Amino acid sequence: MKDQLLYAACEKTQQDFVALWERLVNIDTGTGYGEGINQVVAIVAEQLKALGASIEIIPVEDATGGSHVVGTFEGQGKGKILAMAHMDTVFPVGTVAKRPFRIQDDWVYGPGVSDCKGSIVLFLSAMKQLKNLKYHDYGKITCLFNCDEETTSPHSRHIIKKLAHEHDYVLCMESGQVGDGVVMWRKGSAQMQLEVFGKTSHAGSNPENGRNAIMEILHQIQQLSTLENPEKLTTLNFTTIKSGDRVNVIPDYAMAQADIRTLYPEELDRIEVAAEKIAEQKAIPDTTVKVSITRGNPPFSKNPGTDDLVRLAQEIYSELGKKLIAVGAGGASDANWAASAGAIAIDGLGPVKGGKNHTEHECTKLDSVVPRMYLLTKMLMRLGAGK
C-alpha cells in the first residue's frame, strides 16, 4: 500500500531537489578537473553534515584531480547499506558555459544531469526523508561519491571493495534506464591490442621483398573476432586500426584495438588463452604478431541476491501503481567493482534518463524524481530494518 505521508513529503521536496541539482550540474567536473570536483565536494559535504552524517574526504592520489566523499549514518537497526554515485563527468571545462542546466517541458538537460548528479541529489533527498520521519531503524547507511568513475575508478575501486565488504547491500545510483528500469547485471570490460611487425619495401619496385603488416593484421582480426560468444553475451569488436604513412610503401607495422565485453569472468580467461594460440596462426610468413589484453571493470554477473533486490524494488514501486522493469547493460559502472568483491548489488536506482548519457542529448525525466525518491527511501527503510 502506498505510503501517502512519505509520497507527499517527496513531492514537497522536489523544488529543493531541483535547486540543488542545478547547483551541481552547473559546475564543470570532468574527471581530473579537481577545481570543479572539489566545489561539488564542499557542497555535498555540507549537505551530509546537515543531515547528521560523519564525513571523510579522500583526495585522489595525485592530489590535483579532486576528492572522494564518504558519508556515514549510524542507526539503531541491523541492515548495513552502501549507496554509490559519482561526481565526475566526461565533459571538458567550459561545457557548462555552453549548455547549462535547463528544464524544457518534462526534461532536464545539462552536463552530468543524468550521469550522475541527479543521483547524488536523490540520495541526499532520501536521507532527508528519513531524518524528517525520525527513522533510524537501520544499522548503517554509507554513501560514497567518487570522482573517477568515468575512467573505471582507478583511485576509488579499492575504497568500493572495502566498503562493499562492510555492508550487506550495495545500491548503485546510476541513472534509471529508459522505460523506467533498474539494472540487474552489467558486463565487464577489457581492451585487446593487436600488433603486427613485418618488413618494409617499395610497393612498386619490389613488393615481394616486403612483409605486409596490414594484410597480416586483417587476417588476425578475422581470426580473433571468432572469439565472440553470443550465447554468453560475450562481444569482441575491433574499433581502431593504424598502419602505414605512404601509399607506395609496404607497411612494416600495424596496430589494432578491440573492445571486449563479458558477463562472466571465465569468458575473459578463455579469450586470453585462445588469443595467444590464434596469434601463432599467421597468413604471412616472417611476420611477428603480439596480442595483449588489458582488463577494465570486472563483470557484475547475474546472481540470486540481486534478483531479490529487484523483486523488492518492484514491490515498492508497485505501491505507486508503476511497473519497474529490470534490464542488463553492456556498459560498466561502480556496481561492477562492488559485485566483484562479493556484494549483493543493484544498479540504476537514479532518476530516469532520456537521451544518451555522455552526449549533448543527455537528459532526465523530471516526473521520475518523486517516484524514484520514494523508491530509494523505502529501499533504505526495508533493507535497513532487515525486512
> Cis link prior to 116 (omega < 30° from 0)?
yes
- Alpha-helix runs per DSSP H in 327-368: 334-340
For 366, phi and psi rounded to 5 degrees? -60, -40
> Which H helix or E strand runs over 306?
helix 304-318
Given the DSSP bridges, would you call strands 107-109 and 67-74 parallel, antiparallel or unpaired? unpaired
Catalytic annotation on 174?
A: no
Could you count the other beta carbons within 10 Å of the beta carbon of residue 134?
6
Cβ burial of 65 (10 Å; 0-12, 13-18, 19+) is buried
Handedness of CA 236, 239, 240, 241 (dihedral sign): positive
For 284, phi and psi rounded to 5 degrees? -115, 115
Q: Spot the catalytic one: 22, 28, 88, 216.
A: 88
Cβ burial of 114 (10 Å; 0-12, 13-18, 19+) is buried
Could you count the other beta carbons within 10 Å of the beta carbon of residue 73?
22
CA distance 11 to 155: 37
CA distance 349 to 114: 11
Of the candidates 295, 266, 263, which has an alpha carbon nearest to the alpha carbon of residue 185? 263
Q: Are 180 and 324 in contact (CB under 8 A)?
A: yes
Q: Is 70 helix (H, G, I), strand (E, B) or coil?
A: strand
Looking up cell 505501491 gives 319
Catalytic annotation on 149?
A: yes
Q: Spot the catalytic one: 28, 149, 216, 347.
A: 149
Could you count the other beta carbons within 10 Å of the beta carbon of residue 245?
8
Which grid cell sits at 274?
585462445
Active site residue ranges: 88, 149
